[in-house]
Chain A
Amino acid sequence: MFSWLRRQKRDEKVNGRYRHGNEHLIEAREVVKVYENAAGKFTALRGVSLQVNPHEFVAVVGKSGCGKSTLVNMITGIDRPTSGDILVGDTAVHTLNEGQLAQWRGRNVGVIFQFFQLLPTLTVAENVMLPMDFCNMYAPRERRDRALYLLEQVEMAEHADKLPSATSGGQQQRVAIARALANDPPILLADEPTGNLDSKTAESIFRLFMDLVQQGKTIVMVTHDRDLTRQVTRAVVMADGEIVDEIVNQSVTPTTVFEPEEVR
């Protein structure tokens, strides 16, 4: 059933540069992030360490400005730590340059934003095909079929040829999830994916994430909704740039049904 989840190819230049032999899929080690602007220095992360194992569904919660989005941005390589290491699979993310990061991210991490961030001039299906196009994954002939398949998974296949502006917010977020899955990454990182949605739609999106974890994906999700923390494997609570608490839900444990996927 999940044969399409198999990896297509390995890019030695991007992956496996740094074999740390870590048992965790994601590991942040003593990450510090300091921003400087005209008003002075601001420390967003103060020596944060975090480990995420395969098939975990981790929620990073906290108030606005606590550093949760910054932490996720470090993992996706969207931002770089001032000090500390970010290790994802065999890759030391913080050592990659921008070009390598883009390729690595495109193949290994699916990013989901609060405001969906679909390209307005591309149709729903084309938005999903875009990461395959950029990362040269899958044969060009197969890309549309795969996009349609993914859209079917998120119940958006019937809207495949619409422009994003012709769909609702919840539908756009489903498309964004399909796009995040385009290159079959083992990890999904979502920054407030339900923050811009009504509670009913948010609930359906959350269910989708749960399904994906069931299918073998590892998800790290930033949210300010504390209610969601009860439904994930583990919740990491942040305040003032530090992890202040961790809640592990015994009832929701990482699935062992599927073989853990490798990070390419």
Chain B
Amino acid sequence: MLNPRWRKVIRDLWGNKTRTLLVVMSIAVGVFAVGVIVSTQILLSTDLSASYLATTPSSAILSVSPFDDDLVETVRRMPGVLEAEGHHSMNVRLLVGPNEWRTLNLDAIQKFDDQRLNRLAPVSGAWPPPNKTVLIERASLGLTNAKVGDTVTVELTDGRQLGLKIVGTAHDLNKPPAAFTGQPYGYINYDTMEWLGFGRLHDELRLLVENGTDKKAVEEAAKGVSQKIEKGGRSVFFTWIPTPGKHPPDDAVQPMLLILGVLGTLSLFLSGFLVINTISALLMQQTRQIGIMKAVGAQTRQIMGLYLGMVVIFSLLALLVAIPLGALGAFAFVGYLANLINFDIQGWRIPLPSLLLQIGVGLVVPLAASLWPILSGARVTVREALNSTGIGERHFGHSWVDRLVESVRGFSRPTLISLRNTFRRKARLGLTLFTLTLGGAVFIAVLSVHASLMNTLDDFFAYWRYDIGLNFSRAYRTEQITREALSVPGVVGAETFAFARASHVHADGKEARPVTVLGVPPDTQIIQPKLLRGRWLLPDDENAIVVNATVLDPENDPDIHLGDEVTFKIEGRDTTWRVVGVVQAVLQGPLMYAPRSYMERVTNNVGRAGFVQIVTEQHSLAYQTQMAESLKQHFKDAGMNVSGTETIASIRQQIEYQFNILVVFLAFMAVLLAVVGGLGLMGTMSINVLERTREIGVMRAIGASDGSVLRIFLVEGVFVGMLSWGLGALAALPISQVLSQAVGMAFLRAPLSYEFSTQGALLWLGLVLVLASGASLLPSWHAARLTVRDVLAYE
């Protein structure tokens, strides 16, 4: 049987269900946010890592001139090499609609049933795929516009078109997610590869080495293998060493989870404020009861125990709601991410550390938040408690803020009451405003991040001013390419670039990761980079090179500086270059620019190019797609084989899609914060109504109608909302800059082109007005329903 004091607690909780619900919801929102983020983090790291490691990922992948199994065997026998496997990767064009082509990346696998590295898993259909058939990566099947059993048309670099039957699907965790690349992946056997005209040789060597978790050891081993291959007369074009044990998209997912984690913690922190407000108000409302309990023998610690117990009950109720919802949220979130990243979750569960953390923060944060109000409330003396009127006249009229508000004139009397009531409980107003302001600021900041992402995208396309890019199956004369391109109606410009991969050769002979070098005409109209330091290329330049800012990143190559003479290995030869300028990098990795004519000489391709960038009259996706086909046909008619096309509008669409994923996640957290803010306002307005019950009675007694009472509280709520909006818009300025910077560095490795979202601020104004009206409506309605008799009976 419960003691009377605990029965009082239970009945206080039950007696004011709205208040209980608000506090429980406030705590639950914070715990839910933390639960979703932490569970997601844990599920992702365990399940993704487990799935990824199960594929036996390569320690290094070398791109090598064609080789056979003898070389694989030789490498396999090298000391320090645990496994080696030869592969061939090729691109063909896939017909996905009438006159609509997409690049299909094909991987040739020698032994489907004895894969050693980067293992592919069967999902459906035939395994292994018979000759002249293809398996499609499960996540990219949608991009083929076909289904298992269909025969699709592929076009080879020589212009031949062949039919390939899709016989099933497979799961490849080592490919970049199709959702991000927009590219379908297919898997064929070596007979099919030969039938397609690519021969039977490998061009990619995958390695598994000893101490594979040590990147330095992997680099050393890969270097040894590379030297061995080159000694045998073959070229190693580049070596890619993935971060050991980490699935590649992890680099993007972890920072996002970190940002979301910060926002989740923030919402928990803000929910603590709501607890402070509610508990303070509860204690104020029950001051007289505290006095009576003390008068009949209760000690301060007993009173504290009573109210802390109440907070624990709030917390437990919140945990009951938040833990299952958080688990569901995390499961949905991980499911969404799993779908994006293309991996399988290993069953639905609540990770124990996440559960313990939720219970911990769900109990500790509300208790810590309520400790001070409970301590000060419980310490009230009997005399103070019994003399307490519960009406806050002593809280208004003394400070300069009150005097300022008092001096406002020209509004109706009820509006003035609303305005002055707003400032009566300044601490409560402060906490409510802080919660709502921060919610609003983060909301505006998230939309500013979106605006900044789009701004960055605009900058990217201002940087690359072409509409269509065409790749040829082999190099053609640049003069011929340009002439033919310009002869197609609708084409207003065409430029060819030279292309190479260059590895910085350090003084000790070690080579850095290869970087793309574009040979461009110094007066190029297609590339308009923003110069940060030094100068752009001049017509007389020979071995001058301009690097983008990413090249100079310490993690890329700390040994390159403006003005340096640098040795790059291009096409197997060491060449010396002088770094003359640094340009801004927008949405791109390390990239260098050199004079085209000099690059053509270095790459032994004078007067010839393998691809061309076209500027068209119009820039819509439909126009670019149609023009790409016209150009391809035109070049074909001219006897030049186009192996691939890309349109800027489709690239933009793809990037926008990726950006939107990011913004959706951020917006989810912003909405949670806004909900916490709304709950805070609703709690405050409920408390205000409760505290002013006697005043409402007085107003009623002197003739205030239902509408007048309702309006007084509604206007007060809306006023708080407006005030928080102004403060939130101001606070959003620094917050959005920090968030944009963080998002830019985390996902693009460069700051975004920042833009404050005025639209976001206006949208939040609309939302906060709706939120404030909604949050005040219920308490105001309650206030309007109170009769004078109710008020007299009020204790």
Is the pairing of A and B real? yes
**Interface residue ranges, A against B (CB under 8 Å):** 73, 76-79, 98-99, 102-103, 105-107, 111, 113, 117-122, 126-127, 129-131, 133-135, 140, 165, 179-180, 182-183
Instruction: Give the secondary structure class of A's interface.
Output: helix
B234: Cβ under 8 A from any A Cβ: no
Contact A122 B288 (CB under 8 A): no
Given A73-B383, A98-B379, A127 contacting B298 (CB threshold 8 A)? no
Nearest-neighbour CB distance to chain A for B14, whole angstroms, equals 9
B347: Cβ under 8 A from any A Cβ: no
Contact B292 A117 (CB under 8 A): yes
Contact A105 B295 (CB under 8 A): yes
Question: Please, which residues of chain B bring their CB within 8 A of the CB of A183?
Answer: 297
Contact B7 A111 (CB under 8 A): no
Contact B296 A126 (CB under 8 A): no
- Docked Cα-Cα span, A127 to B8, in Å, equals 10
Given A117-B288, A117-B292, A121-B8, A78 contacting B383 (CB threshold 8 A)? yes
Given A99-B300, A99-B301, A119-B289, A111 contacting B383 (CB threshold 8 A)? no
Which of B5, B300, B386, B793 interacts with A78 by CB under 8 Å?
B386
Contact B383 A79 (CB under 8 A): yes
Given A76-B295, A120-B795, A140-B1, A102 contacting B8 (CB threshold 8 A)? no
Nearest-neighbour CB distance to chain A for B617, whole angstroms, equals 79
**Which 8 residue pairs are nearest across A and B when measured between Cβ atoms?**
A106-B297, A121-B11, A131-B296, A126-B4, A135-B297, A134-B298, A78-B382, A134-B297
Contact A106 B381 (CB under 8 A): no
Nearest-neighbour CB distance to chain A for B283, whole angstroms, equals 15
- Docked Cα-Cα span, A133 to B299, in Å, equals 11
Contact A133 B379 (CB under 8 A): no
B12: Cβ under 8 A from any A Cβ: yes
- Docked Cα-Cα span, A76 to B382, in Å, equals 10
Contact A126 B7 (CB under 8 A): yes
Contact A134 B300 (CB under 8 A): no
Which of A73, A99, A106 interacts with B296 by CB under 8 Å?
A106
B149: Cβ under 8 A from any A Cβ: no
Contact A133 B4 (CB under 8 A): yes
Nearest-neighbour CB distance to chain B for A164, whole angstroms, equals 9
Contact A131 B297 (CB under 8 A): yes
Contact B293 A134 (CB under 8 A): yes
B294: Cβ under 8 A from any A Cβ: yes
Given A126-B4, A130-B4, A165-B793, A121 contacting B12 (CB threshold 8 A)? yes
- Docked Cα-Cα span, A106 to B298, in Å, equals 7
Which of A111, A121, A135, A165 interacts with B295 by CB under 8 Å?
A111
Question: Please, which residues of chain A bring their CB within 8 A of the CB of B291?
Answer: 117
Question: Please, which residues of chain B bring their CB within 8 A of the CB of A117?
Answer: 288, 291-292, 295, 386
Q: Which residues 299-313 of B sit at the A interface, judged by CB distance below 8 A?
A: 299-302
Question: Please, which residues of chain B bring their CB within 8 A of the CB of A130?
Answer: 4-5, 8, 293, 296
Q: Which residues 756-795 of B sit at the A interface, judged by CB distance below 8 A?
A: 793, 795
Nearest-neighbour CB distance to chain A for B648, whole angstroms, equals 69
What is the number of residues of chain B that contact chain A, defined by CB distance less than 8 Å? 30
Q: In the complex, what residue of chain B is closest to A125 when comparing beta carbons?
A: B4
Question: Please, which residues of chain B bring their CB within 8 A of the CB of A98?
Answer: 294, 299-300, 379, 381
Could you name 28 residue pairs across A and B whose Cβ atoms are closer than 8 Å?
Answer: A76-B382, A78-B381, A79-B381, A79-B383, A98-B381, A99-B300, A99-B301, A102-B294, A103-B297, A103-B299, A111-B296, A113-B295, A117-B291, A118-B292, A119-B8, A119-B292, A121-B7, A122-B4, A122-B8, A122-B11, A129-B4, A130-B4, A130-B293, A131-B297, A134-B293, A134-B297, A140-B3, A179-B296
Contact A134 B296 (CB under 8 A): yes
Report the tally of A-B residue pairs with Cβ distances under 8 A.
Answer: 91
Question: Please, which residues of chain B bring their CB within 8 A of the CB of A79?
Answer: 381, 383
Query: Of B4, B291, B298, B386, which is in contact with the most chain A CB atoms at under 10 Å from its CB?
Result: B4
Contact A102 B12 (CB under 8 A): no
B15: Cβ under 8 A from any A Cβ: yes
Question: Please, which residues of chain B bring their CB within 8 A of the CB of A131?
Answer: 296-297
Question: Please, which residues of chain A bring their CB within 8 A of the CB of B7?
Answer: 121-122, 126
Question: Please, which residues of chain A bring their CB within 8 A of the CB of B294?
Answer: 98, 102, 105
**Interface residue ranges, B against A (CB under 8 Å):** 1, 3-5, 7-8, 11-12, 15, 288-289, 291-302, 379, 381-383, 386, 793, 795
Contact A127 B297 (CB under 8 A): no
Question: Please, which residues of chain B bring their CB within 8 A of the CB of A77?
Answer: 382
Question: Please, which residues of chain A bring their CB within 8 A of the CB of B379?
Answer: 98
Question: Please, which residues of chain A bring their CB within 8 A of the CB of B5?
Answer: 130, 133-134
- Docked Cα-Cα span, A9 to B320, in Å, equals 43
Nearest-neighbour CB distance to chain A for B795, whole angstroms, equals 5
Known: A122-B11, A182-B296. 20 other contacts (CB 8 A): A76-B382, A98-B300, A98-B381, A99-B301, A102-B297, A103-B297, A106-B297, A107-B297, A111-B295, A113-B292, A117-B292, A120-B795, A122-B4, A122-B8, A129-B3, A130-B4, A133-B3, A134-B293, A140-B3, A183-B297
Question: Please, which residues of chain A bring their CB within 8 A of the CB of B381?
Answer: 78-79, 98
- Docked Cα-Cα span, A34 to B335, in Å, equals 71
Question: Please, which residues of chain A bring their CB within 8 A of the CB of B386?
Answer: 78, 113, 117
Nearest-neighbour CB distance to chain B for A24, whole angstroms, equals 23
Which of A73, A105, A140 interacts with B297 by CB under 8 Å?
A105
Question: Please, which residues of chain A bring their CB within 8 A of the CB of B383?
Answer: 73, 78-79
- Docked Cα-Cα span, A127 to B795, in Å, equals 16
Given A121-B11, A121-B15, A165-B793, A127 contacting B295 (CB threshold 8 A)? no
Nearest-neighbour CB distance to chain B for A202, whole angstroms, equals 21
Question: Please, which residues of chain A bring their CB within 8 A of the CB of B793?
Answer: 165
Nearest-neighbour CB distance to chain A for B282, whole angstroms, equals 12
Nearest-neighbour CB distance to chain B for A144, whole angstroms, equals 8
Contact A127 B4 (CB under 8 A): yes
Nearest-neighbour CB distance to chain A for B761, whole angstroms, equals 44
Question: Please, which residues of chain B bring their CB within 8 A of the CB of A99?
Answer: 299-301
Q: In the complex, what residue of chain A is closest to B3 when comparing beta carbons?
A: A133
Query: Of B3, B296, B298, which is in contact with the most chain A CB atoms at under 10 Å from its CB?
Result: B296
- Docked Cα-Cα span, A135 to B299, in Å, equals 9
- Docked Cα-Cα span, A179 to B3, in Å, equals 15
Q: In the complex, what residue of chain B is closest to A117 when comparing beta carbons?
A: B292
- Docked Cα-Cα span, A105 to B296, in Å, equals 7
Nearest-neighbour CB distance to chain B for A124, whole angstroms, equals 11
Q: In the complex, what residue of chain B is closest to A118 when comparing beta carbons?
A: B292
Question: Please, which residues of chain B bring their CB within 8 A of the CB of A127?
Answer: 4
- Docked Cα-Cα span, A120 to B292, in Å, equals 11
Question: Please, which residues of chain A bring their CB within 8 A of the CB of B300?
Answer: 98-99, 102
Question: Please, which residues of chain A bring their CB within 8 A of the CB of B295?
Answer: 76, 78, 105, 111, 113, 117
Nearest-neighbour CB distance to chain A for B383, whole angstroms, equals 5
Q: In the complex, what residue of chain A is closest to B379 when comparing beta carbons?
A: A98
Question: Please, which residues of chain B bring their CB within 8 A of the CB of A165?
Answer: 793
Question: Please, which residues of chain A bring their CB within 8 A of the CB of B4?
Answer: 122, 126-127, 129-130, 133
Nearest-neighbour CB distance to chain A for B47, whole angstroms, equals 49
- Docked Cα-Cα span, A180 to B7, in Å, equals 20
Q: In the complex, what residue of chain B is closest to A78 when comparing beta carbons?
A: B382
Question: Please, which residues of chain A bring their CB within 8 A of the CB of B8?
Answer: 119, 121-122, 126, 130
Nearest-neighbour CB distance to chain A for B297, whole angstroms, equals 2
Q: In the complex, what residue of chain B is closest to A128 when comparing beta carbons?
A: B4
- Docked Cα-Cα span, A78 to B384, in Å, equals 9
Query: Of A79, A99, A134, which is in contact with the most chain B CB atoms at under 10 Å from its CB?
Result: A134
- Docked Cα-Cα span, A120 to B795, in Å, equals 8
- Docked Cα-Cα span, A134 to B6, in Å, equals 11
Nearest-neighbour CB distance to chain A for B385, whole angstroms, equals 9
Q: In the complex, what residue of chain A is closest to B14 when comparing beta carbons?
A: A121
Question: Please, which residues of chain B bring their CB within 8 A of the CB of A129?
Answer: 3-4
Question: Please, which residues of chain B bring their CB within 8 A of the CB of A179?
Answer: 296
Nearest-neighbour CB distance to chain B for A73, whole angstroms, equals 6
Question: Please, which residues of chain A bring their CB within 8 A of the CB of B382?
Answer: 76-78
- Docked Cα-Cα span, A78 to B4, in Å, equals 23
Question: Please, which residues of chain B bring their CB within 8 A of the CB of A73?
Answer: 383
- Docked Cα-Cα span, A119 to B306, in Å, equals 14
Contact A134 B299 (CB under 8 A): yes
- Docked Cα-Cα span, A183 to B296, in Å, equals 9
